[in-house]
Structure 1
Amino acid sequence: MRRSLPVDAAPPVAVGRGEAYENMRCDVCGSGERDEELLLCDGCDRGRHIFCLRPIAARVPTGPWFCPACAPRSKPVKRFPMTQTKIIDFFRIQKGAEDVEAEKCGIFQDVKKRRKRPLVMHKKRRRILPYVPTEDKVQRLKQMASLATAMTSATMKFSNELTYMPGMAGRSSNQARLEEGGMQILPKEDKETIELCRTMQKRGECPPLLVVFDSREGFTVQADADIKDMTFIAEYTGDVDFLENRVNDDCDSIMTLLLTEDPSKRLVICPDKRGNISRFINGINNHTLDGKKKQNIKCVRYDIDGESHVLLVACRDIACGEKLYYDYNGYEHEYPTHHFI
């Protein structure tokens, strides 16, 4: 049984209530088992398992927790208006789509030229592919509006790059050479692909993805078109901070950015205030075979111009309508995923 309390708070005195706590059962499933995952409401003292909540909670929160009956009534999800001007302002879209078309043609022609070169006798490296935006502009507006809806619900601002805020880790701290064991350098051809995708995003040509709400999983991301294996999906973005500053953070989307030998220099990405669609891509259940089969995205850290970046790339063909999943425990195996669907 766990009551969420501030880290430094003293344990509550439960005189005369010890027996009641011993017989505590989950209000949803009726079971008193797994009491280490049974949350006690700070309002009514009733209990609920973290996996019986909707959406499911990954871990016991560090701050106060109230059951649905005691919690302040949450506002219904307000859909972001499908108005071009509002979407342009929210995503800070730049004008000049014709420029990116020329860039796309140049990049794709360059790729074709490279393929015509004589074959050499070594293992062919799999290159990252640029995503293919939806041609229908109305559908693209729908895709961006779905992301804006999720972000405004989470009180987030859109940022398609890593942000370095005062009081957190400075940009000079992000040195890929400090990675324990070394970090792979992003090849030139793949870097060109990432730059192309960033340029397309700035022009409002987003990846063919929709953000939808699921009662069990919360906001999730699904493909709005067929996506080929090795297609670039997004860079994981947000505020960069030192890991030691986020040990007791309730944000469930913190991503490892830099694993240094010195623990005090380890960096994480925190998309609680700023970020992009990567914040809403769900993780697989590492403890079941069915969970592992769902994975269709891989999360890879690369050295790009001397700095660490986290890229999300399709690891197999993804069909239109399929939800996107990746392994939250690709590096450190510390994220609790045993209750994930």
Structure 2
Amino acid sequence: MRTSVFNAHTRCTLAPTNQNPSPARLTLPRQTIMATWKASSSSSSPAASPSRRFIPYRRRTKASPPRRPSSESPPRKMRSIADVMAKSPPVVEQEQDDGYGDVTCEKCDLGERDDELLLCDKCDKGFHMKCLRPIVVRVPVGPWVCVDCSDQRPVRRLSQKKIMHFFRIEKQIDQTERSQLSQEESRKHRRRSCSLTVKKRRRKLLPMVPSEDPEQRFAQMGTLASALTALGIKYSDDLTYVPGMAPRSANRSKFEKGGMQVLSKEDLETLELCRAMYRRGECPPLVVVFDPLEGYTVEADGPIKDLTFIAEYTGDVDYLKNRENDDCDSIMTLLLSEDPSKTLVICPDKYGNISRFISGINNHNRFGKKKQNCKCVRYSVNGECRVLLVATRDIAKGERLYYDYNGYEHEYPTHLFL
């Protein structure tokens, strides 16, 4: 019989040696069990009784210390990202072949200058920005198609009736009224005699002098109407405020960073006079000419004197933050605010006038400044910001008009300008 031996504080149970249960369990008295246990422990040794086995009993006397939470664990020493990158093997970037690696320009047959190579979204042909006619000065943000894939049709010449409807000309005035107006204008802008020792003569804006021939004026307005129609732009001689864009209340000259110069009373009268002349169909002697290299340009169809008012820059007024990814290449700054989110711009992509087509000089060319003959000036007119184009010198007939696109901010790319 196998006996299990425990310490004094443990109950002992006897069981048969075989695994098969006996038909009836034998129960012995407590005195018999204790006598047998004492006799076996005193007379026998482990060596003499090989069938006896001592099973030790392990009693827990002290609980294990609680596990320290992760937040209280000692901080691990971390390596800096510089050490990790220094010991890590370099990653070789595999160039993915997108199928356009061998694209060349269709005009010059060269594949260099990838940053200036445009791909047509229809025919997948490549064209350098400088090889296109007219030249593309910056990479388009949205989709772009070449001239062969564009469905733009040539615009026909408009009749006088359509021209009057296009510019919303109020009425035609006869020669008598014209002579009276010219006399009033000359009387109003007659030079006043004053002593040079009292005050310095201030340069004033001069009103535009339209062509005398009505047929010539209609021809001049016809070129502007054809250019605006070709680009899908409606004529507007004032700033437009469209719902969803900047409201008119946001156009306040007091928000200008550093302040804005106020248009004097005499210059304001000149501005209102020129606006009234525009409404009567009397425009400055300018024509819009399409150049194969520069696109639409503006040329003088008659002599223009220095400081003559040419036009006001018009279009939709919007916040600059809404036009950061716009494809319009004629956005003009209207208000520079301390808060960039309140800066306003003029966008002549839907509404505009002849000021949209005046060319810009190349700021990266030393001869660019010599071509400039007008400037863009921002004024505060009745508390609102306005942008006026004024001649900076005498302009002869046939001369092309240029001004500096980066007069205030150097944000416009002009390195491809001629």
The reply to whether TM is greater than 0.5 is yes
Cα offset, 1:310, TM superposition: 0.3
In the other structure, the counterpart of 1:28 is: 107
1:225-236 paired onto structure 2 within 5 Å: 225-236=302-313
> Deviation per CA, 1:251-285, whole angstroms, max 9, x where unpaired?
11110000001011110001111111001111111
Q: What residue identity is the alignment partner of 2:133?
A: R
For structure 2, the residue ranges without an aligned partner over 5 or more in a row are 1-93
Q: Which of 260, 263, 266 is equivalent to 2:343?
A: 266
Indicate the SS of the match to 1:221: strand
Tell me, in whole angstroms, the C-alpha distance in 2 between the residues paired with 1:101 and 1:160: 25
In the other structure, the counterpart of 1:216 is: 293
2:169 maps to 1:93: yes
In the other structure, the counterpart of 1:37 is: 116
User: Are the structure 2 counterparts of residues 96 and 28 from structure 1 closer, same or farther at C-alpha, using a change threshold of 3 Å?
Assistant: closer
Tell me, in whole angstroms, the C-alpha distance in 2 between the residues paired with 1:24 and 1:37: 12
In the other structure, the counterpart of 1:287 is: 364
> Deviation per CA, 1:143-196, whole angstroms, max 9, x where unpaired?
011111111111111110111111111111000111101100111111111111
In the other structure, the counterpart of 2:14 is: none
Identity across matched positions, percent: 61
Q: Which of 127, 134, 137 is equivalent to 2:204?
A: 127
1:46-195 paired onto structure 2 within 5 Å: 46-69=125-148, 71-76=149-154, 78-83=155-160, 85-95=161-171, 97=173, 102-112=180-190, 115-195=192-272
In the other structure, the counterpart of 1:17 is: 97
List, as ranges, runs of 4+ consecutive aligned residues in structure 1 with deviation greater than 6 Å.
none
> Deviation per CA, 1:187-241, whole angstroms, max 9, x where unpaired?
1111111111111111111111011111111111100001111111000001111
User: Are the structure 2 counterparts of residues 67 and 17 from structure 1 closer, same or farther at C-alpha, using a change threshold of 3 Å?
Assistant: farther
Tell me, in whole angstroms, the C-alpha distance in 2 between the residues paired with 1:238 and 1:327: 19
In the other structure, the counterpart of 1:207 is: 284
Tell me, in whole angstroms, the C-alpha distance in 2 between the residues paired with 1:101 and 1:267: 41
2:386 maps to 1:309: yes
Q: What residue identity is the alignment partner of 2:241?
A: Y
Normalized against structure 2, the TM-score is what?
A: 0.73
Tell me, in whole angstroms, the C-alpha distance in 2 between the residues paired with 1:121 and 1:287: 43
Cα offset, 1:58, TM superposition: 1.5
Indicate the SS of the match to 2:130: helix
Q: Is the 8 A contact 1:302 1:311 kept in 2?
A: yes
Tell me, in whole angstroms, the C-alpha distance in 2 between the residues paired with 1:160 and 1:105: 26
Tell me, in whole angstroms, the C-alpha distance in 1 between the residues paired with 2:178 and 2:315: 25
Cα offset, 1:16, TM superposition: 6.8
Cα offset, 1:75, TM superposition: 1.0
Cα offset, 1:104, TM superposition: 4.5
Tell me, in whole angstroms, the C-alpha distance in 2 between the residues paired with 1:41 and 1:15: 23
In the other structure, the counterpart of 2:273 is: 196
Indicate the SS of the match to 1:97: coil
User: Are the structure 2 counterparts of residues 141 and 68 from structure 1 closer, same or farther at C-alpha, using a change threshold of 3 Å?
Assistant: closer
User: Are the structure 2 counterparts of residues 110 and 116 from structure 1 closer, same or farther at C-alpha, using a change threshold of 3 Å?
Assistant: farther
User: Are the structure 2 counterparts of residues 182 and 16 from structure 1 closer, same or farther at C-alpha, using a change threshold of 3 Å?
Assistant: closer
Tell me, in whole angstroms, the C-alpha distance in 1 between the residues paired with 2:326 and 2:307: 33
Cα offset, 1:44, TM superposition: 3.8
Q: What residue identity is the alignment partner of 1:178?
A: F
Cα offset, 1:88, TM superposition: 1.4
Cα offset, 1:102, TM superposition: 4.2
Q: What residue identity is the alignment partner of 2:323?
A: R
> Deviation per CA, 1:24-44, whole angstroms, max 9, x where unpaired?
432222333322111123334
Tell me, in whole angstroms, the C-alpha distance in 1 between the residues paired with 2:260 and 2:301: 33
Q: Is the 8 A contact 1:100 1:203 kept in 2?
A: no
Q: Is the 8 A contact 1:103 1:196 kept in 2?
A: no
Cα offset, 1:120, TM superposition: 3.9
Q: Which has the higher contact order (CA 8 A, sep 6+)?
A: 1
Cα offset, 1:94, TM superposition: 1.0
User: Are the structure 2 counterparts of residues 73 and 92 from structure 1 closer, same or farther at C-alpha, using a change threshold of 3 Å?
Assistant: closer
Indicate the SS of the match to 2:307: coil
Tell me, in whole angstroms, the C-alpha distance in 1 between the residues paired with 2:119 and 2:95: 16
Tell me, in whole angstroms, the C-alpha distance in 2 between the residues paired with 1:51 and 1:127: 40
Q: What residue identity is the alignment partner of 2:296?
A: F
Tell me, in whole angstroms, the C-alpha distance in 1 between the residues paired with 2:108 and 2:172: 56
> Deviation per CA, 1:34-87, whole angstroms, max 9, x where unpaired?
221111233343322111111111211111223344x234312x133232x222
Aligned-pair Cα RMSD in Å = 2.0
